[in-house]
């Protein structure tokens, strides 16, 4: 054999496997372990050949195989693990030989029958990350197989690999035993118009601190699409629930109740930005449109516009004149202001007191740079509303006044920005101006036909205005647009059912909210009142105990003063139910 025949380079999918705790198994029962290993190795070799692969080497408990494609390699690894599980189920736990597997695509050097190189090394390192009986794959493999195999993947982070400069992104292939439960309770029906979810664009910069930038781009594309009446667009909260969850496009679309998925990646470095985007029909896996962009950072605004328009063109959506005018309302052309707004949004959506304060600082800085930038005014106002209604404010009156100023300024700058109307709706509600609050909520929905937030917030205003049936209807639409919603959606729906006299449903929804976050007073109050209305005293007392555990100083008198009910009789009825449940005056 010539030297040229001995050593050649080729691109291959590599499968690396070894046995968990092999040395201990040998020490415990050497003869049984060797016999079982030989049987398993023969089984694995047959399956590797069946999937067009070749066993390269199998020293000790290790096995190295190569395949012409990543699809063959991953399918083979899955088939092996399923078969070995059946074999291992015959033995007690201490006798089972459980293989860990890693799959990578890489350029390898073939020397005779052996293969060498970083592609092999990465496969071996990924195998070490895998659980016993499990499979992990590299990002390069995941990209090749995610739309071709009906398997579910879970992103498990970046991992350093010896002698490899960049960290390797690793994905776990989920077996039937560890498949995650669906994020929504039941599959959703497709709407009667084009429906789309924009998944969080992947941050490819290698710097986790740049995550806000890719999230901000995603959010702006969602905001633009939401204003198109002939589209059904999933809200930000639900799209972002899939961040880091490497599920198939088909599964994500089914859980969100949409036909189309937009996914992409962002790599920001210095004054350049590289963006990839692709629009997929999840029912067929067909890519309707895809594009790569490599631009100056200052072109980010034009890029957002271009991507949004390309999506609408691919879906054959025609804009009305008003939609064209409103498509990018609330935006800026200043990259520094945009950057600060994106950082603020990242903090704001974490929904805790510390990040709420930090978000406020970012929004204020964005406004200093671009005083005509509408969006940070509205979100700044909501940081004050959060302080007010969540009990974070040291001066509720001042917080309200600041929220009102922000709402007025935002509407002065741009009366067509839906978030400004949602904010002003809250201002009117707190002032007990219910009819004005309802008008603001209705205007927000007109401006943003896909506005889940507008519907949810208007629903709460309607609850406080003695219109619970209409509130329930609006909230059901909000849940359809945002099937993995913020916790307060459940609270609003529970209040609507309570005010509508549907106490069992109110309890069910409120308890669902508490299953995610136990230390919430509001759902416990709804539970206590609902049980009280049902004359189920013992359950009502238990809910009261939870309220007093969370806030030992709770008093009905203080609580009643801040409830923005339009009808005093409705409020008195609710407070009396809480009193009967055992809450102190």
Output the pLDDT for position 176. 62
Instruction: Evaluate if residue 4 carries a pLDDT over 70.
Output: no
Highest mean pLDDT among 94-98, 168-172, 512-516, 567-571: 567-571
Mean pLDDT of 322-332: 56
CB 261 within 8 A of CB 199: yes
Which domains does the chain possess?
3-178 (3.30.70.1230), 195-326 (3.40.50.10070), 486-585 (1.25.40.10)
Write out the two tokens for 254.
């089914």
Output the pLDDT for position 191. 81
Separation between Cα atoms, residue 574 and residue 341, nearest integer Å: 40
Helices (H), 3-138: 3-6, 22-28, 30-50, 70-88, 118-129
Question: What is the separation of C-alpha 202 from the centre of its chain, rounded to a whole number of angstroms?
Answer: 12
CB half-sphere exposure, 276, CA atoms < 13 A? 8
Instruction: Evaluate if residue 177 carries a pLDDT over 70.
Output: no
Output the pLDDT for position 580. 93
Mean pLDDT of 45-66: 92
* β-sheet bridge partners, residue 12: 106
Q: Pick from 66, 64, 68, 37: which is nearest to 127 by CA?
A: 64
483: pLDDT confidence band, cut at 50, 70 and 90? confident
Separation between Cα atoms, residue 210 and residue 330, nearest integer Å: 23
CB 460 within 8 A of CB 437: no
Instruction: Evaluate if residue 320 carries a pLDDT over 60.
Output: no
3-state SS class at 268? strand
Write out the two tokens for 68.
């012409």
Distances (CA, A) of 125 to 17, 18, 155, 559: 10, 11, 16, 58
**Would you tell me how many other CB atoms lie within 10 Å of the CB of residue 535?**
8
Cα torsion angle, 563, 564, 570, 572, sign: positive
545 CB contacts (<8 Å, ≥6 apart)?
none
**Would you tell me how many other CB atoms lie within 10 Å of the CB of residue 143?**
14
Instruction: Evaluate if residue 292 carries a pLDDT over 90.
Output: no
Give the residue carrying structure tokens 């009366």: 415
Separation between Cα atoms, residue 275 and residue 44, nearest integer Å: 41
403: pLDDT confidence band, cut at 50, 70 and 90? very high
Rounded to two decimals, the pTM is 0.66
Output the pLDDT for position 1. 41
Give the residue carrying structure tokens 């496009």: 249
Q: Mean pLDDT, the chain, as a whole number?
A: 86
Give the residue carrying structure tokens 């309570």: 498
Report the chain's C-alpha Rg in angstroms: 28
Strands 232-233, 195-198: parallel, antiparallel or unpaired by DSSP? Answer: parallel
Q: Among residues of the chain, what percentage have pLDDT more than 70?
A: 93
Output the pLDDT for position 114. 85
CB 385 within 8 A of CB 372: no
For residue range 513-529, what is the model confidence (pLDDT) as tens digits? 777 677 788 899 999 99
Instruction: Evaluate if residue 185 carries a pLDDT over 70.
Output: no
Instruction: Evaluate if residue 182 carries a pLDDT over 50.
Output: yes
Output the pLDDT for position 52. 93
Strands 99-111, 7-19: parallel, antiparallel or unpaired by DSSP? Answer: antiparallel
Mean pLDDT of 18-44: 88
């Amino acid at each position: 054999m010539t030297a040229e025949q001995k050593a050649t380079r080729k691109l291959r999918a590599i499968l690396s496997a070894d046995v968990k705790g092999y040395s201990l198994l040998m020490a415990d029962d050497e003869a049984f372990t060797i016999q079982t290993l030989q049987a398993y190795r023969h089984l694995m070799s047959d399956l590797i050949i069946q999937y067009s692969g070749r066993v390269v080497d199998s020293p000790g408990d290790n096995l190295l195989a190569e395949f012409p494609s990543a699809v063959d390699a991953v399918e083979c690894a899955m088939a092996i693990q399923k078969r070995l599980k059946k074999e291992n189920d015959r033995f007690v736990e201490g006798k089972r030989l459980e293989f860990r597997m890693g799959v990578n695509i890489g350029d390898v050097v073939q020397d005779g029958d052996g293969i060498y190189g970083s592609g092999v090394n990465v496969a071996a390192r990924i195998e070490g990350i895998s659980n016993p009986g499990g499979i992990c794959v590299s990002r390069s493999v995941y990209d090749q197989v995610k739309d071709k195999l009906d398997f579910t993947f879970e992103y498990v982070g970046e991992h350093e690999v010896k002698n490899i400069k960049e960290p390797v992104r690793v994905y776990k292939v989920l077996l039937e035993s560890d498949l995650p439960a669906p994020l929504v309770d039941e599959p959703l029906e497709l709407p009667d118009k084009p429906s789309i979810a924009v998944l969080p664009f992947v941050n490819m910069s290698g710097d986790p601190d740049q995550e806000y930038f890719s999230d901000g781009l995603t959010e702006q594309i969602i905001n633009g699409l939401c204003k198109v009446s002939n589209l059904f667009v999933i809200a930000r909260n639900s799209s972002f629930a899939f961040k880091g969850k490497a599920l198939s496009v088909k599964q994500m679309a089914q859980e969100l109740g949409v036909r189309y998925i937009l996914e992409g990646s962002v790599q920001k470095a210095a004054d350049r930005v590289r963006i990839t985007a692709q629009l997929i029909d999840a029912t067929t896996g067909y890519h309707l449109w895809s594009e790569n962009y490599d631009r100056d950072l200052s072109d980010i605004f034009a890029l957002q516009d271009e991507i949004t328009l390309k999506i609408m063109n691919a879906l054959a959506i025609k804009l009305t004149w008003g939609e064209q005018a409103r498509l990018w309302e609330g935006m800026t052309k200043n990259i520094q202001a945009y950057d600060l707004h994106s950082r603020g949004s990242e903090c704001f959506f974490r929904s805790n007191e510390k990040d709420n304060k930090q978000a406020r600082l970012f929004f204020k800085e964005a406004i200093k740079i671009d005083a005509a930038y509408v969006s940070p005014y509205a979100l700044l106002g909501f940081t004050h509303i959060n302080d007010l209604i969540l009990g974070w404010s040291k001066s509720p009156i001042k917080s309200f006044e600041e929220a009102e100023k922000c709402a007025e300024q935002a509407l002065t700058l741009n009366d067509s920005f839906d978030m400004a109307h949602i904010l002003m709706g809250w201002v009117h509600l707190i002032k007990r101006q219910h009819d004005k609050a309802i008008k603001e909520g209705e205007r927000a929905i007109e401006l943003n036909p896909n506005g889940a937030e507008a519907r949810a917030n208007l629903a709460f205003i309607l609850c406080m205005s003695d219109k619970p049936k209409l509130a329930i209807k609006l909230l059901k639409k909000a849940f359809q647009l945002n099937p993995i919603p913020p916790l307060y959606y459940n609270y609003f729906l529970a209040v609507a059912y309570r005010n509508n006299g549907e106490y069992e449903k109110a309890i069910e929804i409120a308890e669902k909210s508490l299953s995610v976050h136990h230390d919430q007073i509001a759902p416990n109050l709804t539970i206590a009142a609902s049980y009280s209305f049902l004359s189920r005293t013992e359950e009502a007392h238990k809910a009261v105990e939870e309220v007093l555990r969370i806030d030992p100083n709770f008093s009905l008198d203080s609580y009643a003063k801040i409830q923005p009910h339009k009808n005093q009789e409705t409020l008195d009825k609710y407070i009396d139910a809480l009193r009967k449940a055992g809450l102190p005056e």
